[in-house]
């Protein structure tokens, strides 16, 4: 099995990518989404977040073909703050927060096979309002699923990492204050505006 991950500036892009991956035959149980809660219109006004999952979707998906997005739940991950999430990666990150594994979101990504540098950048992207989509796929399906995710204009982790470093960022810090995007940023991310 391989893990294919892409981060998106827009929650709408990520939702479309999840739909496409599921339609391509990747089982819902092998797809995960983690988004800054402020960019998800469904959860933007929810203030109560526990250290664990509050939605049915964390760690799995609903039956009956409902799809991953039907099972979104709200949780808090250190360094990310409140996120909307569903799937196996979210479950792993929650377990890491609870002490089942070390490393939180970055550790969960690295354990799943994501390059450490990319894991730091993807985690920082979520913290700053982005959305991460991750799929576990058979080795022979990795290139096909990666091409599907690439159709929805994900960030380039090398370029985004360079941009973050120009601002003084070095690596993802799980002890950093959670970032709350401004209303302008939230509106841009939700509307899938460029830039």
Model pLDDT for residues 85-119, shown as the tens digit of each residue: 888 786 666 554 444 334 578 888 888 899 999 99
Q: Spell out the residues 6+ positions from residue 60 whose beta carbon is closer than 8 angstroms to its own.
A: 29, 71, 87, 88, 91
**Between the CA of residue 165 and those of 24, 136, 148, 162, what are the distances in Å?**
36, 29, 29, 5
- Which pLDDT score is estimated for 194? 44
Nearest to 21 by CA among 114, 118, 154: 154
pTM over 0.75: yes
Higher pLDDT, 61 or 153: 153
Residue 105 · residue 98 · CB < 8 Å: no
Count of positions (residues) in the chain: 195
Q: Which residue has the higher pLDDT, 83 or 77?
A: 83
Residue 139 pLDDT grade (very low, low, confident, very high; cuts 50, 70, 90): very high
Using pLDDT thresholds of 50, 70 and 90, give the confidence band for residue 59: very low
pLDDT bin (cut points 50, 70, 90) of residue 36 is confident
User: CA geometry: angle at 91 spanning 63 and 144, to 5°?
Assistant: 70
- If pLDDT is split at 50, 70 and 90, which confidence band does 19 have? very high
Check whether 48 has a pLDDT greater than 70.
no
Please choose, from the candidates 149, 137, 103, the residue with its C-alpha nearest in 3D space to the C-alpha of residue 7.
149
Helix (H, G, I), strand (E, B) or coil at 169: coil
**Percentage helix, strand, coil for the chain under 3-state DSSP, each rounded to 5:** 45, 15, 40
User: Is pLDDT of 173 > 50?
Assistant: yes
Q: CA-CA distance, 149 to 147, in Å (whole number)? A: 5
Crossing angle, helix 11-23 and helix 183-191, to 10 degrees?
Answer: 30
The alpha carbon dihedral of 69, 73, 77, 80 has a sign of: positive
């Amino acid at each position: 099995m391989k893990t294919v991950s892409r981060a998106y500036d827009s929650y709408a892009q990520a939702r479309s990518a999840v739909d496409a991956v599921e339609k391509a035959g990747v089982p819902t149980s092998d797809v995960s989404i983690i988004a800054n809660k402020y960019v998800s219109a469904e959860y933007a006004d929810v203030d109560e977040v526990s250290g664990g999952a509050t939605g049915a979707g964390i760690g799995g998906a609903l039956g009956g073909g409902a799809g991953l997005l039907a099972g979104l739940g709200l949780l808090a991950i250190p360094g990310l703050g409140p996120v909307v999430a569903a799937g196996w990666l979210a479950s792993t990150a929650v377990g890491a927060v609870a002490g089942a594994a070390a490393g939180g979101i970055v550790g969960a990504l690295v354990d799943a096979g994501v390059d450490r540098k990319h894991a730091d950048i993807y985690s920082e992207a979520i913290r700053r309002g982005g959305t991460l989509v991750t799929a576990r796929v058979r080795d022979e399906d990795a290139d096909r699923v990666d091409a599907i995710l690439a159709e929805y204009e994900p960030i380039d982790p090398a370029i985004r990492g360079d941009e973050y470093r120009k601002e003084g960022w070095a690596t993802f810090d799980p002890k950093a204050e959670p970032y709350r995007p401004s209303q302008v940023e939230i509106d841009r991310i939700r509307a899938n505006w460029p830039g």
